[in-house]
Chain A
Amino acid sequence: MEDLNDATLVARFRAGDPRALDDLFARHEVPLFQFLVGMLRDHHQAEDALQETFVRALEHLDGVDPDHLRGWLFTVAYHQAMLARRKQKSRPAEPLGEGAVADREPGPLQTAAHRDDARRLRRLLAQLPAPQREVIRQRVYEGKRFRDIAADMDCPLNTALARMHEGLKRLRLLWGTDHAADGSSG
């Protein structure tokens, strides 16, 4: 993809250049999809909302500052998510996790993979510095509120939040290293 800015891509799209649409997809679809999955906690609904977002946002470009296309796309995505949420109200939302990105009825291989991931995650958690490990353990495995974790660990709330953030960052690195080692040994 050429590194064109959004304003140029919008101008090309409006002039009928189909490659401009591909470039707009490539640039914005992943963050928009992450946002929609975060709000809807359902992969399939997020895909439907993503489709609606692009259609509606690009059909209503009049009056939109092309330099602020990103904000416009997120605004449309937000409204699409809220619409979907209203339709969704009859059934409870699942927390974001395995179910949010898996098929609704995972097969045995997927189930086994998730169990394996959970075991791997616990093993890697043990490698974190104790304060970070403790915040994540209490938050993820005990479901405690941050203010309660902070009180339990006798630290300010912001410290507990920062430990969570740093711990997740480190876990992410460890996870990548672990996966790479796994791949090279198999």
Chain B
Amino acid sequence: MRPTDPRDDLCPDDVALALLYAGGRLSPGEAEAFERRLGEDQGTRDALCRAVELTQSLTGRPLRPRPDYRDRVRQRLRPPCGR
């Protein structure tokens, strides 16, 4: 069974706040408070993901990392079994 998307039941207020944060529209104090929540709360992190996804989807450009980062990760990870 495919796992459900944990962002499906996000609070719209959190997403709106995340949109303001990502847009650099919060005051320094508000941004700091939001970042404290990002450090502790997965729901807030998911709201930020959704806010970024919404912003990018409006421009029609899907947001993905360039795939070559995967090779750099593979090179840096030591073989897990001490091969």
Contacts and interface: CB of A to CB of B under 8 A. Distances in A.
A101 B23 CA distance: 13
Interface residues of A, number: 58
Interface in B5-22: 6, 12-13, 15-16, 18-22
B49 A31 contact: yes
Nearest to A5: B3
A55 B52 contact: no
Given A3-B1, A58-B77, A171-B58, A74 B45 contact: yes
A39 B48 contact: yes
Please classify how large the interface on chain B is, using the bins under 10, 10 to 19, 20 to 34, 35 or more.
35 or more
B29 interface: no
A96 B22 contact: yes
Interface string B35-69: 10011001001101101111111111101111001
A21 B51 CA distance: 27
B24 A95 contact: yes
For the complex, would chain A's binding face be called helix, strand, loop or mixed by DSSP majority?
Answer: helix
Contacts of A115: none
A112 B18 CA distance: 28
Nearest to B64: A30
A14 B15 contact: no
Contact of B66 (A18, A47, A172): A47
Interface of A: 3, 5, 13-16, 18, 21-22, 25, 29-31, 33-35, 37-39, 41, 46-47, 50-51, 54-55, 58-59, 70-71, 74-75, 78, 82, 93-98, 101, 114, 117, 121, 143, 146, 158, 161-162, 164-165, 168-169, 171-172, 175-176, 179
Interface of B: 1-3, 6, 12-13, 15-16, 18-25, 35, 38-39, 42, 45-46, 48-49, 51-61, 63-66, 69-70, 72-74, 76-81, 83
20 contacts: A21-B73, A22-B70, A34-B63, A35-B45, A35-B49, A37-B63, A38-B22, A39-B35, A47-B65, A51-B73, A51-B76, A59-B78, A75-B39, A82-B39, A93-B24, A95-B23, A101-B56, A162-B12, A171-B58, A175-B60
